[in-house]
Amino acid sequence: MLALVAACSDDPAQTAKPTESTKVVGYFTNWGVYDRNFQVKDLDTDGAAGKLTHLLYAFGTVKDGKCAATDAWADYQKPITAAASVDGAADAPDAPLRGNFGQLRKLKKKYPQLKVVWSFGGWNDSGGFTTAAKDPAAFADSCRQLLDDSRWKGVFDGVDVDWEYPNACGLTCDKSGPDGLAKVLTALRSALGKQAVVTAAVPADVEKLKASDYQAAAAQADWLGAMTYDYFGTGGDGDANGADAQDEHHTALQSPLSGYSGIPRANATTTATIDQLLSMGVPPAKILLGVPFYGRGWTGVSSAAPGGTASGPAKGKYETGLEDYAILADRCPPTGDAGGTAYGHCGSEWWSYDTPDTIKAKMSFAASKSLGGAFAWELSGDTAKGDLLNAVVTGMGR
């Protein structure tokens, strides 16, 4: 696999120059069709589908060591109206395939370059991977059978493993051993074939990275997506995805590119995460840089700069302590930057998030490391004009 290259690989400010294999990846969540009202059609109307190389559909679950859907209604049962349909045609109530999967089929027909990958796990549903790792072949075969279900066969081009975290602790603790993830990916590659897309999301925490053999995992994967965000959280319910809330009463940058004055942990940066993966022997072309399309915020803050005291998490529209970029761009515009990311101090609130400018700088960093591309968590947080995804694409020089 070729990767992002820069004319001068030692200069992180160098404009990214992608090859044909540079990946532009975005996550679409099945729960986003509810409160957020972010539909598959929005990927067409906001232009995202034409810019992405891969769309990761989150999440399926791992139940009894086997792949399974999490929300049948949203995934493949809900009748889609003509107004919400990619091609303007409503689903018949008795159509064999409706919901998101039916719309994804239509989206792929309109954008034949787009690969769609079913992502399994996530913060809430990773516990089943421990069982899957005990019999990887059975797990992989169950995934193959699920992807080949006659109702939606052809919609999905592969499987993304979002295991939080192999041989380490997330919501639950895993003791599968350093080779657990590699075994699972090896089995998936065998079951799905060479042409399938097989990927994995990997932790940003350096110590969690040390717990598994990511070089072996990368050998079987098209890429490893480094979750280079959520280094620090607010202690709100928005921290359910594993943000480190060890210092919840002090503001901190949730996705810094580099260190900054007052950072709670020196190695809690994107640079440290990428350097750790590279030092473990993961090829740079098989590493994707993660970019958050949301921010984390505190209230009752004492300082405009990072590190000030706070009384607790700020209110978010959907989750406490968390807010989509599309909302923050108006609610609390940037007032400063540090560590290669932005923050906004608005009255008693303080928010940390990426902007189009900081994302472009991160893409230049990715080029300086010859990384394989970038991915976004997750697409519903962007503006209607796709300002953040546009920054990813233009930052790569596409």
Q: How far is CA 204 from the centre of its chain?
A: 12
Annotation says 319 is catalytic: no
Nearest to 98 by CA among 71, 117, 118, 122: 71
Q: What angle (nearest 5°) sits at the alpha carbon of residue 43, between those of residues 392 and 342?
A: 35
Strand ranges for 282-348 from DSSP E: 287-292, 294-299, 312-313, 322-324, 336-338, 341-346
Q: Tokens 């970029």 sit at which residue?
A: 325
On the CB side of 196, how many CA atoms lie within 13 Å of its CA? 26
| SS3 call for 202 | strand
Q: Residue ranges of the alpha helices (H) in 46-84? A: 48-51, 72
Provide the β-strand partners of residue 7.
none
Q: Are strands 54-63 and 23-29 parallel, antiparallel or unpaired?
A: parallel
CA–CA gap between residue 300 and residue 322 (Å, rounded): 15
Cis amide linkage into residue 165, ω under 30° from 0: yes
- Choose, from 164, 248, 349, 378, the residue flagged as catalytic: 164
CA–CA gap between residue 10 and residue 15 (Å, rounded): 12
Whether the CB-CB separation of 212 and 163 falls below 8 Å is answered with no
Helix-helix angle 270-279:356-368, to 10 degrees: 20
Neighbours of 330 (CB within 10 A): 8
Helix (H) or strand (E) run with residue 388 in it = helix 387-395
CA–CA gap between residue 128 and residue 179 (Å, rounded): 16
DSSP string, 254-266: SS-SS--TT-SST
Which residues does the annotation mark as catalytic? 164
